[in-house]
Amino acid sequence: MTKQFRGKLEKMDAYRWRIPESYSPGMRVPGVIYSSEKLLRDVISDNAPEQVANAAWLPGVVRASMAMPDIHWGYGLPIGGVLATDIDAGGVVTPGGVGYDINCGVRLIRTDMPLSKISGSLKGLAEELFRSVPTGVGSTGEIKLDGRNAEDILTGGAKWAVSRGFGWDSDIDRSEENGAMEGADPGHVSKRAFERGYDQTGTLGSGNHFLEVQEVVEIYDEKSAKVFGVEKGLITVMIHTGSRGFGHEICSEYSAKMVGLSAKAGISLPDKQLSCVPVNSEDGKRYLGAMRSAANYAWANRQVITHLVRQAFQRVFGETPISLGMRLVYDVAHNIAKVEKYDMGGKEKKLCVHRKGATRALPPGHKDLPDEYRLTGQPVIIPGDMGRYSFLLAGTEKAEETFYSTCHGAGRLMSRSEAIRTTKGRQIAKELEAKGIYLRYKGRETVHEEVPEAYKDVADVVDVVVGAGISRKVAKMRPLCVVKG
């Protein structure tokens, strides 16, 4: 286990705190943590700053090892970590900087439906969504990752799903990477990973994954909200899941392989969970080929779930998804490593940007945005816990300092075991129903793990990234019904 953080965070301004390079002899750059005074105690007590410092050892790291205000302890890099390496200067890629649930991400669907239209049907809607979308540990779907379609799914992602009738062409335009990363190579995926992902496409899974029907309760930026299609009083749907067992197996296998490869390459590391190889090495290319396959699997997964959600709404309300206005606002990845170009000291450089529990946040005018979002910046979707609220943000120019990255959610305050222990005997579903939130779930333990107080208040997290200027607020949504694994 990583040693206890013994340093003192140096205050840079109201929202940024530095770990100097002098803290640890192997640090190549400083650590920078985005946080408020209010959140700082929890950040330090979690010991995650030590992981921020550890990541600063990695070859080729540039600018700083960073973490967002939803930072908490993770595997290798903390959840909330952002790390970029200079590829042509021997920069490395580390599976610990991506995480086990490759392309765990979130998508937001807007509707034309006011609360009054669904308020009398919330319980029935929760039941129908629970029946329609397979949930829970080991949940399986109808789509099989077999020889007939495996390569198409892993290279085509959401595009494959839409081409098979699971969604609309407009869904692709409103997804990061248009729902499929180039460079996916199923040939670098093991038989075991294929076996674990064989029948999990179109399934929600368990843990912090969820499906949530929400009401927009506040608008902060009328112009951006109008472009995104969200309006106060209207209903939205949020889907949060990733690559399931398929991505988990890829991370496990490549992390284990890279421990020996790192040592062989003479890379000195303070934590073997940050095992890594140069991006340009054959082993680096193999990992990225497999990781991109898992990322595309996750985009296909969320796309199929989107189709199942639209069908469920049609069955409950007797209208087509088109007539209900169920248009995708955007889909973003949280756990991913991507090759991106940045101006570094007047020179354009290719960087490997790791975002682990962090969201891409492109500014207005960025070339990778769809035309409809060129004036607003990228929609940034920030889920909270199942008892409070979530936010819709937009990217900014200032986010260049974080390689156009921002927070991804609330961030845990309690471990899963602590949450289970401290909520023993409570009826969480009844507590939520008393607040007007209907919960359907597969595993009772999951509900206790995900109790609202196990998380930071996402409003505090959002205030930091907005205060730091790396995102701006567009809207706030509250949960009405939640489906969990």
Cα within 13 Å of Cα(181), Cβ side: 26
| Mean per-residue pLDDT of the chain | 96
Burial class of residue 246 in the structure, from the number of CB atoms within 10 Å of its CB (0-12 exposed, 13-18 middle, 19+ buried) = buried
Pairwise CA distance, residues 373 & 391, whole Å: 18
The mean per-residue pLDDT over the stretch 243-254 comes to 97
Those residues whose C-beta lies under 8 Å from the C-beta of residue 128, and which sit 6 or more positions away, are 312, 315, 316
Contact 392, 108 (CB under 8 A): yes
| C-alpha closest to that of 333 among 105, 173, 108 | 105
Q: Which of 188, 248, 334, 408 is catalytic?
A: 408
Q: What is the pLDDT of residues 35-64, one digit of tens each?
A: 999 999 999 988 999 999 999 999 999 999
Domain extents for the chain?
10-484
DSSP result, 183-216 = T--GGGS-HHHHHHHTT-BT---STT-EEEEEEE
Pairwise CA distance, residues 462 & 455, whole Å: 13
Could you confirm whether 408 is annotated as catalytic? yes
Alpha helices in 265-387 (DSSP H): 282-317
Cα within 13 Å of Cα(49), Cβ side: 27
Record: fold of 10-484: tRNA-splicing ligase RtcB (3.90.1860)
Higher pLDDT, 141 or 196: 196
Q: What is the pLDDT of residues 23-38, one digit of tens each?
A: 999 999 999 999 999 9
Q: What is the pTM of this model?
A: 0.96
Pairwise CA distance, residues 480 & 485, whole Å: 17
Q: What is the pLDDT of residues 266-315, one digit of tens each?
A: 999 999 999 999 999 999 999 999 999 999 999 999 999 999 999 999 99
